[in-house]
Structure 1
Amino acid sequence: MSSALPVTDPAAVRLLTHRRVRQVLGAFLAGEQTVAGAARRLELDLRTVHRDVRALCAAGLLRLVREQKRAGRAVKVYAAVAPAFFVPFSVTGAAALGELGADHARRHERLFLEAFAREFERLHREQGGGRQWGVRLYLAPEGQVQVDQSYEDAALIDAGVRYQGPQGLLLNAETAVTLSEAEAREVQAELIRLLMRLRPLTLTHEAQGSGRPYLLRLGLAPVTPQERAALSGAGGRSPGPAPRAPDAGS
């Protein structure tokens, strides 16, 4: 059974639906902490964290544990009032369930596109050899109208069949597929297994200070035939994977 504390008070709900304030509260979930310690851990301004801590205490989400005496002003130590918190959708003010994670999704998407473009442009400068990169419209061997991006002299083949762009450690595949329900369930299971395999690797590297961060996007959602058709700028079948660059060793 969940040990999360339900939060429905409007003031507390406003705090828990604010990204930075959630971060501040999260710094106190593992145990007792000072404002200065939380600010260092989160790399946030001390005054900002102090203001958030006061608000969290007033809302009943943080509590003052004790004061450590020292020369001058005593240091206050705080702790979260529960190991976890739960805000019901019905009290968030969101019009739809999807809105709850919309802000995070937008920030993640924006950063991914910026990071991908930055790295792709670097690889293109190094490997392009003066060739032009652009949008192509052509009839694919399978008979469908294809819209994609590639070099001007590249073969008229979808990147999902043979990638012909600059090589590097990045990948951006945005495509629509047609599957049976059983096949879609297997794809979903494969993606979940991948995430589960990557989590312990991530935690190990973060604990050791090794590796480097990468953004990973995975998704699967059913759409209508009309929605899929709307993805195609040519009015035919939806385009295949967007420009992508696999590992240079592949």
Structure 2
Amino acid sequence: MSSVLNVTGPAAVRLLTHGRARRVLGAFLKGENTVAGAARELGLDLRVVHRDVLALKAVDLLRVVREQKRAGRPVKVYAAAAPAFFVPFSATGAAELSELGAGRTSRYEMLFRAAFSREFERLHHEQGGGREWGVRLYLAPEGQVTTDTSYEGADLIDAGVRYQGPLGLILNADAAVTLSESEAREVQVELIRLLMRLRPRTLAHDAAGSGRPYLLRLGLVPVTPEECAALA
């Protein structure tokens, strides 16, 4: 018997495609938990978690496994109804496959932009020395017309050749590159291997409570020459 529960009921689907309710359900995947325990683990308000727990129980995604006796009302202990859950695309009402992750993608993009701007402004204030930062249009040494941003008076070379901006633990490289299909596959493999190397480090730091979180964006997708030209 599969350990994955297929979820198709409209109310349950709505909860499993809602970020916060999904996080709350995740707090019960590791084992039995209480509302208070889940709230502490997730850093969420107790009342908010309690509402989500009741909603998840009402659609059979959570179940009460026992009650802890105490003075006054006993405390309910919950567990996830299955070790894993799956919502098929056909049950979501989405028009396109990409819509399923669109909410998280949008939140991630907004956070990345905000965090990058905050850190860039801080580094520029510390290292800029009063220099103006602005947009440049120039003919690069390799012969291509280039548009980028840099300090006034900086050498007319691309940041991919030599970065001349403020230094810190930030990187926002939205590059358009021209590759053969085999070269693109090599790049894809390198990026995947990087993510695989970083995963055990992330899990170790999370378990030890060490390190700090960073947002990492990696992407590769083919476009038409016309689409690429429109980026200039």
Q: Please say whether Structure 1 and Structure 2 have the same fold, judged by a TM-score greater than 0.5.
A: yes
Q: Tell me which residue corresponds to 1:44.
A: 44
**1:138 partner SS:** strand
Q: Alpha-carbon deviations, 1:42-87, whole Å to 9, x = none?
A: 1111111111111111101111101111111111011011000000
Cα distance between partner residues in 2 of 1:52 and 1:4: 21
1:12-27 equivalence runs, <5 A: 12-27=12-27
Matched, 1:177 2:177: yes
Letter in 2 for 1:150: S
TM-score (norm 1): 0.90
Q: Tell me which residue corresponds to 1:91.
A: 91
Cα distance between partner residues in 1 of 2:206 and 2:64: 30
Q: Tell me which residue corresponds to 1:139.
A: 139
**2:28 partner SS:** coil
Give identity over the alignment, percent.
78
Cα distance between partner residues in 1 of 2:69 and 2:168: 55
**2:23 partner SS:** helix
Matched, 1:122 2:125: no
Q: Which has the higher contact order (CA 8 A, sep 6+)?
A: 1
Q: Tell me which residue corresponds to 1:163.
A: 163
Distance 1:2 1:140, change over 3 A: farther
Letter in 1 for 2:205: H
Q: Tell me which residue corresponds to 1:197.
A: 197
* Aligned positions, number: 232
TM-score (norm 2): 0.97
Cα distance between partner residues in 2 of 1:54 and 1:110: 31
C-alpha deviation, 1:2, in angstroms: 5.9
Gaps of 5+ in 2: none
Letter in 2 for 1:157: I
Q: CA RMSD in A?
A: 1.1
Q: Tell me which residue corresponds to 1:35.
A: 35
Letter in 2 for 1:152: E
C-alpha deviation, 1:117, in angstroms: 1.0
Q: Tell me which residue corresponds to 1:77.
A: 77
